[in-house]
Amino acid sequence: MATSPNPAWKNINWKQLAKTEITSTWQPQLQATVLLYIAEMLQEGFPMLEIFSFLKTIFPKQEATFGKMATGFSAGQYFYQVIHEMKIKGNVAYQIQVAEAYGNFGLGLETIAKYIQERDQQMQKLKGVMLYPIALIVLMIGMLFGLRIFLLPQLASMSVGEGQGLLSYLLIFLQKLHWIMIGFSVLLLVILIIYLLWKKRTNPLVRARLYVKLPVVGKLFRLYYTQFFAYEFSQLFKIGYSVRQITESLIKQDEVAFLQAFGEYLDERYYQGVSFADSLTAADVFTREFPAIVIQGELLNQLAIKTRLYSQRVLRLLYQTIDRQIKIAQSILFLSVAICVVMVYLILMLPMLTMLETI
């Protein structure tokens, strides 16, 4: 009698799966640590395949990932082409591509790793600051539903006359609270769908010009784009790129659609005879100081240094602005929660006040 084949699940290496898929997460700090190891060993003269073997020993949970990277590298791929195994993408992947093609790769990789570390540290701080307003929002929503569940029956049993207009509005609000929340959620969903459709059909540079003009958050977008491009330019200027070479490099890369769109914009302005600084001003997505910094750097032949220092200053300003706006939002939310608490006390006292009116 023929034996039936083993079920497919019996052939799965569960131990390996747990090591690579469950316990292994490529968080930014881990990415930066691995890149620092690679950078240091490259500067010491180790070949890349030996580095991958060494990394398997240091990071056993990521052994399968480094194995795939080594296989790809042996097959003729560049380092920037195998780093997607580490979940590295976007502008960081582009920076690695540029560093690998030109200059001291080990030193460039070290700079990129430190950039990832610094950015992640700032993001962790922001997440910590945002926990409080999120908790306030959850508390406020919970209080509203608590009012509806526990106090709505009591309010509904009371006679609400014309002289109790505020109470009437409160009663209607609590009765329709679930519909209000559903309607609000549907509205957000519709807005999200419209935005995604618009985003899909719109040039990234056109979107950026709209983002920087939005109320409240527009300044944050402008600071972000300025820091982003100042840093990218500093890295390219550092390895000796001219403005024309930067433009061509941005157009050719396919990691960041926004960089590609901006490269096409610079290319068009170049053939129109517009200077680089004037093109930055006309783009209308950067701070006013950025084109002036570029002009100063060109005059002093210090474009790489000037743009790098300016990107660091703008990054600090960006996080300070975000922190300040979050604190303002915290104050508004705290006031809203306080109003809800006062409303609860007033509702609790309402039966007693009603009884006093009848005496």
pLDDT in tens, 248-267: 888 888 778 888 899 999 99
Alpha-carbon gap, residue 169 to 163, rounded angstroms? 12
In a domain, 146, yes or no: no
Q: DSSP code of 32? A: H
pLDDT at 226 over 90: yes
Element spanning 227, H or E: helix 218-238
Q: Could you say which of 136, 169, 201 is where a domain stops? A: 201
pLDDT at 241 over 50: yes
pLDDT computed for residue 154 by the predictor: 64
pLDDT of res. 3: 44
Closest CA to 129 of 321, 317, 336, 337: 321
Do 323 and 297 reside in the same domain of the chain? yes
* Comparison of pLDDT for 8 and 325, the residue scoring more: 325
Amino acid at 337: V
Please indicate, yes or no, if residue 143 is contained in any of the structural domains: no
Q: What band does 194 get if pLDDT is binned at 50, 70 and 90?
A: very high
- Decide if 232 contacts 330 (C-beta within 8 A): no
- How is residue 2 annotated by DSSP? P
Asked if pLDDT for residue 29 goes beyond 80, the answer is yes
CB atoms inside a 10 Å sphere around CB 88: 21
Together in a domain, 113 and 222: no
CA 70 to chain centre: 30
Identify the sign of the CA torsion 305, 307, 309, 312: negative
Which position has the token pair 């508390």? Answer: 139
Per-chain mean pLDDT for the chain: 81
Q: For residue 65, with 0-12 CB atoms within 10 Å meaning exposed, 13-18 middle and 19 or more buried, which class applies?
A: buried
Same domain, 229 and 191: no
- Can you tell me the distance from the alpha carbon of 267 to that of 245, in angstroms, rounded to the nearest whole number? 10
Q: What is the CA radius of gyration of the chain?
A: 29
Give the pair of three-digit tokens for residue 93: 């992947």
Q: Tell me: do 195 and 260 sit in the same domain.
A: no
Residue 71 sits in the same domain as residue 97: yes
Q: What is the pLDDT of residue 9?
A: 37
Quote the domain boundaries for residue 98. Answer: 13-118
Positive or negative torsion for Cα 221, 223, 226, 227 = negative
Judgement on whether residues 67 and 103 belong to the same structural domain of the protein: yes
- Quote the number of domains for the chain: 3
Does 186 share its domain with 245? no
Global pTM value: 0.72
Domain assignment present for residue 18? The answer is yes
Domain end call among 64, 96, 118: 118
In a domain, 148, yes or no: no
| 211 and 332 within one domain | yes
* Judgement on whether residues 355 and 211 belong to the same structural domain of the protein: yes
- The pLDDT, as a whole number, for residue 158 is 58
- Among 67-71, 301-305, 335-339, name the one with the lowest average pLDDT: 335-339
Clarify whether residues 177 and 114 are in a common domain: no
**C-alpha separations of 276 from 94, 134, 221 in Å:** 21, 43, 21
Report the number of secondary-structure helices (H) and strands (E) in the chain: 17, 0
Residues 185 and 306 in one domain: no
Same-domain status, 70 and 212: no
Res 223: pLDDT = 93
